[in-house]
Structures are given as structure tokens and as C-alpha cells.
Amino acid sequence: MFGVIGNPIAHSLSPIIHNSLFSYFSLPYHYEKFLLTNHQDFPSLLSNLHGANITLPHKEVAIKYCDEVRGVAKEIGAINTLYHQNNHWIGYNTDAEGFYLSLEGSEIRNALILGAGGSARAVCAILQKHNIEVSMLNRSAHKIATFVGVKPYERGEKYDLVVNATSAGLQGSLPLEDSHLGEIICKATLTFDLIYPSSSSVKTLEDFLQFLRRREDTLFCSFSKKHKIPTIDGLDMLCYQAFLAFEIFCENAYSFEEIKQVFYP
């Protein structure tokens, strides 16, 4: 069995993506949602799984339960994918590349990340890898110091890309007070909300495909549009990181492009 672990978790669309892929490729696996309120329960939960995706707020603490960490996850210090292989739990981070693929070649020189959690680390790492200057704004300013090469937010600075890497949208809130957020966004070229819209009516692959083509805006994306700034939500990123994770779960039996064709024909 495979699954996604987080808190909250009811909104997750990951089971539809992975179960659709397991079905499409005729693989005898199943994928479920798991609510984890205490990270100390990780070992008992993992004992029933062959692989898992990790979402908020466990991406950083989950790395402690890995026997081995591979790829960019070592640099990020956070994982979103776990796979059990040869009696070892191996940790990966597919969020970073999934995020960058979602930008679709947008020209960006500098970026401001709102938040400083595990998702922010993934975004920061991939932007820096592509020589994009990164600044950060977080409620706890001291946490920004744990990011290498990142500048603190400067009021009045223009940022090409503004990324909401907080979970505020899941509680129906914006990451900052309206006027301050508007001041930042109105100077941007593009905004990106890592949160993605959800829908209780999405039950099947066909439902999901329709949802991909026609979905509502997140609160952050809606706010950006009011300021006439182009915006991207996290749904394509969700798909792309899932496709990369599926490659890992299937030990590279299928390529990213093969997997992507199921959802983006």
C-alpha cells in the first residue's frame, strides 16, 4: 500500500492521481490518505506502507525517519516522498522540480518566498539552482537565517515572482495582511500559490481531468488577479511532483513523459 501523510489531509487529491496511474499501468497497488497529528507515530504508520508522499507540516521532520536521503532532498533538508527498498526507507524531494516545471519557462530574475517551511526550502533550492535570487518573508524572521544565500524581504523591493509557501490558504486566510500583501504583489510579474484548489466532486480520473481544465482560484490567486497580476496555483505542481514520485514508486519502469500523458494528453 502507498499513501499521503499530512495534517490536514482531507483536501488531498494525491490518491486520485496515484490510484489512476496504478490502474492505467495495471499495477496491483492502492493509495490512501493518512492523517498524522503526532510525528512520533511515523514509524507505526510507515510499517504498513511500501511508499508514501509527505505533505504539510511533516516534510522536515520526516527526514529523521529515513535510512537514506537522495538527490536534492539532502540540500533542502525536507522530503515529500518516501520509498521502502531493500529494507531501507529512502527519502526524496520531488516538490522542487515539480514546482519549476510548473513555471513553464517564465523569465524570472528574483523571487520572494512567503513562508519558511519544508515547501519553501524546496522552492528556494530549485530557484537558486537556476540562478534566481531569492528573498524571504516569514513570521519568525530568525528562521530565514537557516536558508543559505537568501536575503530577508525588503519593503519597497520589486520581485518578479512572489511564492506563497505558507499553509494559510488551508485555513481560509491570506499569508499577510491585505494591504501589505497588495503592496508586494502589485509590483510582481507573476505569483504562485503552492496551495491548490480542491473539490469534493472529484472522484474519478475523468473528474480530475475536467478539474485540471476548469478549477476555481485559491484565495491567494484570486487576490493576485484583483491586482491584475498573472498567477499560478499548485495543482500542476501537485501533478508534476506526483509523476516524479510515481517514477520512484515504480523504480523508473515508466518515464515522466509517459506518466504525464495520462493527465496531459
CB atoms within 10 A of CB 178: 9
Helix axes 14-24, 256-263, angle to 10 degrees: 110
The helix or strand, by DSSP H or E, that contains position 83, with its residue range, turns out to be: strand 81-85
CA dihedral for 232, 103, 171, 210, sign (positive or negative): positive
Give phi and psi for 122, each to the nearest 5: -65, -45
Residue whose grid cell is 492521481: 17
CA distance 84 to 229: 42
Do residues 217 and 197 lie in contact, with contact meaning Cβ atoms separated by under 8 Å? yes
CA distance 13 to 33: 9
Catalytic, 151? Answer: no
Provide the phi-psi class of 26: left if phi over 0, else alpha when psi is between -120 and 50, else beta.
left
34: β partners: 5
Check 59, 64, 143, 151 and give the catalytic one: 59
Catalytic residue numbers, as ranges: 59
